Chain A
Amino acid sequence: MRIRNVVQLHTVNRMQFFGWPLVFMTLSLALVLVIGGLVLGVGGPDAREGMHNGMQWNGAIFAVLGPLIGFGFTAMGQYFPLALGLGLTRREFAVGTSLVFVGYAAFFATVFTIGKAIESATGGFGLGIRFFDTYYTGVGAWWQTAIQSFLVILAVMLVGAAITTAFHRWGQSFLWAFWLTLAVIVVAIAGGLILSEPFRELVGQLGQLPWIAWMGVVAGFGAIGAAVWLTLVRRAQAR
């Protein structure tokens, strides 16, 4: 199997694959540091605790998570047609791309974990800010950040690849069905939260689920994405 060729296909442009996500991450971190400095400068030490707690939901890490999410879509949307054009088989593409997904998730999970370790050890880079130590990448121990980051990145790439492959197969009608289904689910949840007390309690209980259970949910999404993607890619055709 020509797995090496598929890996090379995804990684041949190093700047695009590794460079830009790291550049975005660094710029985003720099911006958060500036904001932290300004908050401390204006609010003084009293503001530090509030900022530290509030930044548990800091979404600045999406500056790098965003491109990683997009990678799952481009893998099928742009790299798959080229792989077929170069005479690679669907099986080779699927195996090679799966390895790239796992390696990519492991690389950035390691970056996030190292970042979190430094952030924790320095008290939020001396400013009390949070960039890596957030709910999206895990606010527990360092190994939880490693596992959570890995699972989240891998899951979104697999789901992205699955969605693109389904679009490849069924075209615009799939997108209509997908967005309609998503809209119905969102409206149903919003309606339940507004109108139903038991539903609100249920959602509250879900929020209290232990970390390991949430990891099970993320892994479940990833597994469904992988199953759909690997099933559909076997019959995907050039468009």
Chain B
Amino acid sequence: MTAIATTGLSKHFGDVRAVDDVDIALAELRIHGLLGRNGAGKTTLMQLLTGQVFATRGTMRVLGAEPVENADVLSQTCFIQESQKYPDTFRAIDVLRIAAGAYPNWDQEYADQLVEEFRLPVKRTIKKLSRGQLSAIGIVVGLASRAPLTFFDEPYLGLDAVARRMFYDRLLADFAEHPRTVVLSTHHIDEVSNLLEHVVILDEGQVLLDADTDELQDAALTVSGRATDVDAFLAGREVLERTVLGTLATATVPGGPDAKRAALDAGLDVSPVSLQALFVHLTTANASSRATDVATV
């Protein structure tokens, strides 16, 4: 079943097309990655899907219904956003108490455990918390709410590497025990690439890529070896990324089994393409293409 489906969904702020004609269909009970550069429209898309802002045009179905002002849908949806504002006088414990009442599947025991693990000072006022501690509030709410549809928008800004690792581990473990649909927006692409089953890449408000991560691994490959061997292999091929370190080189190229076989025959080491390399290439190529279009006009 489809958890989220949009058709021609657009949100314009004056001349700015934050979300522009987006068609996506995200299956339920999977972890989806929503990737894009700053200002690509990720947060706006999630705000649309959770009824926080109104669409300029287009349609959307979330958990089978229109989400705007729909309490049945929104009570099953948890949106943890990086820019979430809390009242100045609130303490973390106040947010958790309200969340406990707002989400039908809230697990208080799990929330208490997460508070301990993330070392969240629950009785300190919000304005005295660090950026990382604010992020920890969102992570506790997002995980303990056990909402059938959970959006995480850059949920770990300010968190150190240990806490981020802990978030990934808890998310995966809880997802395995309580399957639900998760949409995760992040810039730490390599860190989450193993979590994601499906990826949507947005660029300038439009969908640049919408594919399962398995498909992406077959779409390109990374080769490495002596620079001369790598360069010989790259001759006549499209190169997504190439780095040289002394006499060794690494390159990412599009291609399926044929390219893999050719690389192995050339004595190169072959590994699946990293999601981050593909992301960088796609968004950079798209920017170059737009620049060329503008220059042509």
Contacts and interface: CB of A to CB of B under 8 A. Distances in A.
B152 to A, nearest CB: 13
A82 interface: yes
Given A2-B71, A89-B70, A12 B85 contact: no
Contact of B84 (A5, A85, A90): A85
Interface stretch (B45-53, B158-166, B241-249): B45-53
Contact of B52 (A5, A16, A92, A238): A238
Contacts of A13: 87, 89-91, 94
A82 B78 contact: no
A172 interface: no
B139 interface: no
Contacts of B78: 87
A180 B52 CA distance: 31
Given A13-B89, A79-B87, A238-B47, A86 B98 contact: yes
Nearest to A20: B89
Contact of B74 (A12, A16, A88): A88
A12 B97 contact: yes
A1 to B, nearest CB: 7
Interface in B48-83: 50-54, 69-71, 74-75, 77-79, 81
A81 B50 CA distance: 13
Given A5-B102, A12-B97, A86-B102, A237 B71 contact: no
A82 B85 CA distance: 6
A82 B98 CA distance: 10
B87 A8 contact: no
Contacts of A86: 98-99, 102-103
A69 to B, nearest CB: 16
Contact of A89 (B74, B87, B99): B74
A84 B52 contact: yes
Contacts of B53: 237-238
A88 B88 contact: no
B97 A91 contact: no
A237 B101 contact: no
A82 B94 CA distance: 12
Nearest to A12: B94
A74 B85 CA distance: 12
B86 interface: yes
A74 B77 CA distance: 25
A89 B47 CA distance: 13
Interface in A3-59: 4-5, 8-9, 12-13, 16
Contact of A78 (B71, B74, B87): B87
Given A82-B85, A237-B52, A90 B71 contact: no
Given A8-B101, A74-B87, 17 more contacts: A1-B71, A8-B98, A9-B98, A13-B87, A78-B85, A78-B86, A78-B87, A79-B87, A84-B50, A86-B99, A86-B102, A87-B74, A87-B78, A235-B54, A237-B52, A237-B53, A238-B53
21 contacts: A4-B101, A5-B98, A8-B98, A13-B94, A16-B89, A82-B86, A82-B98, A84-B52, A85-B81, A86-B102, A86-B103, A87-B75, A87-B78, A87-B79, A88-B102, A89-B71, A89-B74, A91-B69, A92-B71, A237-B53, A238-B53
Interface of B: 47, 50-54, 69-71, 74-75, 77-79, 81, 84-91, 94-95, 97-99, 101-103, 147
